[in-house]
Chain A
Amino acid sequence: MSRRLSLLPLLLLTLLGTMLASLSLGRYPLPPGEVLDFLLHQLGLGELEAQRQALLHNLIVDIRLPRVLTAVLVGAALSISGAAYQAVFRNPLVSPGLLGVLPGAAAGAALGLVFSDSWWIMQVAAFATGFLAVAIGVGIAGLFGGSLVMLVLGGIISGALFTALLSLVKYVADPYNQLPAIVYWLMGSLATADLPDLARVAIPMGLGILLLASLGRALDALSMGDDEAATLGLPIRSVRYGVIALATLISALTVSLAGVIGWVGLLVPHIARLITGPGNRLLLPASALLGAIFLLLADGLARNLAETEIPIGIVTELLGIPAFLLVLHRARKGWV
């Protein structure tokens, strides 16, 4: 048991190491030592030449840091919401997109791109429609009794609706400027966010991640079934809809930050389960940390593999398939 608990600090250290590596890698590679020197200097420790300092500031703080922080936030948010959804729906094959948040947010973002130049408006539109899509899915389920199966079907219906709306927006978009922008954006990118943007969403996202991470035991109980969870004293409706709302909130925010990044929310909880076992108390925080690491690595490949950058969504999907096959191979005995 203590071996398992020491996993989280270990994962946190790995994450910090990966962040450091990501800050030093790129078109102009820096030795990790120099990145550390710069960070120490920023904290008021150590000396650094002024010209060098300006260059490093530009490279690290202006260009790489937003990207690294975006990757950490988005990876953690998608993975922990995936793990939480899998527990709420008692199904290990569920991803955060189940209730339509990703198609919803995508349609909203496309709409924002067509009707406005402001990136900020697009962010708000993506977030709002992502939430709307889930609300419609949950609402449809509520009309038919609100069982888990109805929730899944409601999500499918709502997802189909917003996929159709997305196609409609693409169809009416100007094919020379807007359509390519929509298509690129749908492939996902960690490069668009700047530090002020990040600061705006980091607080709700961070809070959402922390709250979800603290609900592990409640989710364990919920995954045993409604009657059992209720007789264990759990307020099942509040927990279920609270977790859905939190997971929707943070997944919609990832779409508004970085577009649609597939696979992470399904794949990372499975990798985490191989390490921590299925108990959600450890699985949720471990998924968040591993998700951040995974997306940083994927972004490292996206930036460094070819001359031009490959969209991150494509990398996660290509990387995700062999990784998932590996997980399936390990997990044949059960969802270990």
Chain B
Amino acid sequence: MKLEARHLAFAYRQRLVLDGISLSLKPGQVVSLLGSNGAGKSTLLRLLLGLLQPARGELLLDGKPLEQWPRRQLARQLAYVPQIHSTPFPYTVTEVVLLGRLPAGSLFRSPSREDREIAATALEQVGIPHLAERPYTEISGGERQLALIARALAQGARLLIMDEPATGLDYGHQLRLLERLGQLAAAGYGVLMSTHHPEHALLASTRVLLLENGRIRAAGPPEQVLNPANLQALYDIPPGLLQRAMSCWQPAGPSSLSPPTKESFHVPEPHPRLPA
């Protein structure tokens, strides 16, 4: 199972917002997508999910063009984890996760005992089985994000597309979420996430894509791609400012905090290199 984009382009009202995008996502990988606001990250995610049609280029899942996949079958391979949201109605966490079983059968079907077991397992996988009967609207943002990930797992999909999964979470929840993504990758899931935090990409991903004005500026292993020159250009940061932001993490003494290291996360090593 592999999702592959080749030279994708997308235009919105005659304006080219994405051009020449090539990337791939396989189980075991965590791919981070970085870019300034308006660089086209969300558009790219929607293209990859088949929610938009590319103007040019190819999008293949398992070698077959994405638009030839029936929606229900696609949902069993490729899942979308949206940004943390609330629902207008206070569904229980289990009800939200059970929606992931919708593509498994007929539209008119009630969830079966098997569906309920799968939903319960998914909640255990993300570590929130105790929230099963709580209203989705009353749990915290981090817990909601985990519930949405559980729904994606309940779909049975091996490839997960996540839209800024860490946004709106406190620091501790951000780190725990990133660790969870590493665990998922180790368990054979492929994750592609957009993020605003280079350090998240550095911590949790096997590969990084930098998106600048609808084009890929750089792609590769995080240590290689996330260098000061790229970040400075990507976010248009004055040179001194980036220096100061990065140096505030340098250990100032033996007792001070040091940034979490890569070794504290379950990221599969070594990074699988992809053909460019």
Interface residues of A (CB under 8 A from B): 87, 90-92, 214-215, 217-218, 220-221, 223-225, 227-228, 230-235, 239, 273, 277-279, 281, 334-336
B149 → chain A, closest Cβ, in Å?
Answer: 13
Asked if B90 lies at the interface with its beta carbon under 8 angstroms from chain A, I say yes
The closest CB in chain B to the CB of A335 belongs to B89
- Of B6-14, B100-108, B208-216, B256-264, the stretch lying at the interface with chain A is B100-108
Bound Cα distance from A281 to B98, whole angstroms:
12
Interface size class of B (residues with CB under 8 A): 35 or more
A237 → chain B, closest Cβ, in Å?
Answer: 11
Q: Using Cβ atoms and an 8 Å threshold, which residues of chain B touch A281?
A: 110
Asked if B84 lies at the interface with its beta carbon under 8 angstroms from chain A, I say no
Q: Using Cβ atoms and an 8 Å threshold, which residues of chain A touch B135?
A: 334, 336
Bound Cα distance from A221 to B46, whole angstroms:
18
Bound Cα distance from A294 to B103, whole angstroms:
36
Contact of A91 among B71, B88, B95 (CB under 8 A): B88
A241 → chain B, closest Cβ, in Å?
Answer: 14
Contact of B74 among A225, A233, A334, A336 (CB under 8 A): A233
Bound Cα distance from A227 to B80, whole angstroms:
9
Contact of B82 among A223, A225, A273 (CB under 8 A): A225
Bound Cα distance from A26 to B206, whole angstroms:
77
Contact of A228 among B72, B82, B137 (CB under 8 A): B82
A217 touches B80 (CB 8 A): no
Interface residues of B (CB under 8 A from A): 46, 49-51, 71-76, 78-80, 82, 85, 87-92, 95-96, 99-100, 102-103, 107-111, 135, 137-138, 155
B88 touches A231 (CB 8 A): no
Number of CB contacts from chain A to chain B under 8 A = 87
Q: Known contacts A217-B102, A233-B71; decide if A227 and B137 are in contact (CB<8 Å).
A: no
Interchain residue pairs with CB less than 8 A apart (24)? A92-B89, A215-B107, A215-B108, A220-B91, A220-B95, A223-B89, A224-B96, A225-B82, A227-B51, A227-B80, A228-B80, A228-B82, A231-B49, A231-B50, A231-B80, A232-B75, A232-B100, A233-B102, A234-B107, A239-B107, A278-B89, A278-B90, A334-B137, A336-B90
B88 touches A223 (CB 8 A): yes
Bound Cα distance from A91 to B89, whole angstroms:
8
Interface centre among B50, B72, B88 (most CB of A within 10 A): B88
Bound Cα distance from A87 to B87, whole angstroms:
11
Q: Using Cβ atoms and an 8 Å threshold, which residues of chain A touch B73?
A: 233
Q: A225-B82, A230-B49, A278-B89 provided; 9 other pairs, C-beta below 8 A?
A: A220-B95, A220-B99, A223-B89, A227-B46, A227-B80, A231-B75, A233-B102, A278-B91, A281-B110
Q: Using Cβ atoms and an 8 Å threshold, which residues of chain A touch B99?
A: 217, 220-221, 224, 232
A225 touches B85 (CB 8 A): yes
Bound Cα distance from A281 to B110, whole angstroms:
8
Bound Cα distance from A220 to B46, whole angstroms:
21
A335 touches B95 (CB 8 A): no
A273 → chain B, closest Cβ, in Å?
Answer: 8
Q: Known contacts A233-B103, A279-B95; decide if A223 and B71 are in contact (CB<8 Å).
A: no
B82 touches A235 (CB 8 A): no
Bound Cα distance from A277 to B49, whole angstroms:
31
Q: Known contacts A233-B72, A334-B137; decide if A218 and B90 are in contact (CB<8 Å).
A: no
The closest CB in chain B to the CB of A211 belongs to B108
A224 touches B87 (CB 8 A): yes
Q: Using Cβ atoms and an 8 Å threshold, which residues of chain A touch B100?
A: 232
Contact of A217 among B71, B85, B110, B137 (CB under 8 A): B110
Contact of A92 among B50, B79, B88, B107 (CB under 8 A): B88
Q: Using Cβ atoms and an 8 Å threshold, which residues of chain A touch B96?
A: 224
B146 → chain A, closest Cβ, in Å?
Answer: 16
Bound Cα distance from A88 to B89, whole angstroms:
12
Bound Cα distance from A110 to B199, whole angstroms:
68
Q: Using Cβ atoms and an 8 Å threshold, which residues of chain A touch B82?
A: 225, 227-228
Q: Using Cβ atoms and an 8 Å threshold, which residues of chain B touch A279?
A: 91-92, 95
Contact of A231 among B51, B85, B138 (CB under 8 A): B51
B177 → chain A, closest Cβ, in Å?
Answer: 19
